Amino acid sequence: MKFGIIKERKNPPDKRVVFSPNEIKILQEQFPDLIFKVEPSDIRVFSDASYQDQGIAVTDDLSDCEVLFGVKEVPVEWLIPDKKYFFFSHTIKKQPYNRKLLQAVLEKNIELYDHETIVDASNRRLIGFGRYAGIVGAYNAIRAFGIKFELFKMPKACTLNGKEDLVRQLKRQILPPIKIVVTGKGKVGVGIQEILTAMKIKEVSVENFLNKNYSSAVFTQIEVLDYNKRLDGTTIDTNDFYKNPQDYGSDFEKFTKVSDIYISGHFHGNGAPDILTQKMLQASDCKIKVVADVSCDVNGPIACTLRASTIEEPLYGYLPSEHKEVDVFHPAAIVVMAVDNLPCELPKDASEGFGQMFAQHVIPAFFNGDADGILARARMTHNGQLTERFQYLQEYVDGK
């Protein structure tokens, strides 16, 4: 079986890759019938030579590969018909800007597997860059606080050599006794917690966070029922929230009154209530000074996320009284960090971690008859049609 690693062609350039040279070497030792080819790239975090050093062919011709792996969307003109493709297609939420991509996938008889659709039997995602988004997002939050209050200056994450370098930078800084609230305990939340813990910032309970004062920086990590409440006042469980989000409203205001930094690492489902509203941000007792929106839903549940920011310019100011963007150093501005491609700032770490997950959860499925149904659940298209699991996209494909 032949697999191919394609060159990333979407702009802005993305240095990440699904498999590092070392991970491919391990896979080929584990599965002797597996052959990898790599398309040349001058932007990939791992050089062409690093693959060749492992005996992996680097070639422009991937036409004999059955399966092709990429990270970002493949430009329509570069799609090879009748292949199996794995990449983030950004179509499963009916994103209008990628309708033509999914149409082309169907027209070219491509079997598409979106990385986001790779889930276990309980529908839990198995593959993603979320942890690295959390790591960089937490770093950027602390960096933003230092910039806003002229306490310290740290280099951008993208100029450093990996997670350990980020941690070294953070440990050099002295924080005042601030409070940091984090939403979400999934992969993104794990990455955020990893960084805050590495900085020796103490994690405290929700109750203590809301009611106690501390002489050093602390954080609390909260779940959906910590910051949402049922509108009728009854107390139900998390399953009820996910099934009936329309019956809930945000209860995040109690955190805005005591928090200096808010880092978002949550998943916000359709129909769920907004979390941090304009009204909360305009309240006279709102203490929040920095919002690091790692989830980055523009015009979504966090009112101050007016737009996505960039790796080059990651911060902007938000003026609550006028609900508009201002300079970061405006006296009344809340600093917003809303970079929507944070893992790109740690391309080597992110690629290595992603490849390890892929090797563990996906590659065996090609050799064991897909015993766990990994490929069957993830397959979006087959024989020029949407699969049953993704029939809900038909109207989107039809342009309706």
Residue-wise pLDDT tens digits, 178-237: 999 999 999 999 999 999 999 999 999 999 999 999 999 999 999 999 999 999 988 788
d(CA 321, CA 307): 18
- In the DSSP assignment, the letter for residue 274 is P
Contact 305, 350 (CB under 8 A): no
Helix (H, G, I), strand (E, B) or coil at 265: coil
Which positions ≥6 away from 392 have C-beta within 8 Å? none
Please report the pLDDT score of residue 164 as a whole number.
94
124 annotated binding-site participant: yes
400, pLDDT greater than 80: no
Helix residue spans in the chain (DSSP H): 21-30, 48-52, 99-107, 130-148, 163-171, 187-198, 206-211, 224-227, 238-243, 253-256, 278-282, 347-361, 374-378, 394-397
Architecture, CATH, for domain 128-339: 3-Layer(aba) Sandwich (3.40)
Please report the pLDDT score of residue 360 as a whole number.
96
**Domain spans, the chain:** 1-125+346-396, 128-339
From the list 2, 7, 10, 90, the catalytic residue is 90
Examine the residue annotation and report whether 72 is marked as an active-site residue of this protein. Answer: yes
Residue-wise pLDDT tens digits, 252-289: 999 999 999 999 999 887 789 999 999 999 999 999 99
Residue-wise pLDDT tens digits, 221-238: 999 999 999 999 887 888
237 annotated binding-site participant: yes
Please report the pLDDT score of residue 298 as a whole number.
85
Please report the pLDDT score of residue 193 as a whole number.
97
Please report the pLDDT score of residue 367 as a whole number.
96
Q: What is the mean pLDDT of residues 166-181?
A: 96
Residue with tokens 């002797």: 32
Q: Which residues pair with 111 in a beta bridge?
A: 84
Please report the pLDDT score of residue 269 as a whole number.
77
The three-point CA angle 111-296-336 to 5° equals: 155
Please report the pLDDT score of residue 151 as a whole number.
96
Q: Which two tokens stand for residue 186?
A: 């999934």
From the list 72, 179, 229, 268, the catalytic residue is 72
Please report the pLDDT score of residue 270 as a whole number.
75
Residue-wise pLDDT tens digits, 123-134: 999 999 999 999
- The pTM score is 0.88
Residue-wise pLDDT tens digits, 119-164: 999 999 999 999 999 999 999 999 999 999 999 999 999 999 899 9
Residue with tokens 């690091």: 292
Q: Which two tokens stand for residue 162?
A: 């990996």
Q: What is the mean pLDDT of residues 61-85?
A: 97
Architecture, CATH, for domain 1-125+346-396: 3-Layer(aba) Sandwich (3.40)
Please report the pLDDT score of residue 76 as a whole number.
97
DSSP 20-74: -HHHHHHHHHH-TT-EEEE---SSSSS-HHHHHTTT-EE-S--TT-SEEE-SSPP
Examine the residue annotation and report whether 90 is marked as an active-site residue of this protein. Answer: yes
93, pLDDT greater than 90: no
Contact 292, 337 (CB under 8 A): yes
- In the DSSP assignment, the letter for residue 13 is P
b or e along 181-213 (b: 16 or more beta carbons within 10 Å of the residue's beta carbon)?
Answer: bbbbbbbbbbbbbbbbebbebeebebeebbeee
Confidence of residue 26 (pLDDT cuts 50, 70, 90): very high
Please report the pLDDT score of residue 204 as a whole number.
98
- What type of residue is 330? H
Percentage of the residues of the chain whose pLDDT score is greater than 70:
100
Please report the pLDDT score of residue 11 as a whole number.
86
Please report the pLDDT score of residue 384 as a whole number.
97
299, pLDDT greater than 90: no
DSSP 224-257: HHHHEEETTS----HHHHHH-GGGEEE-THHHHT
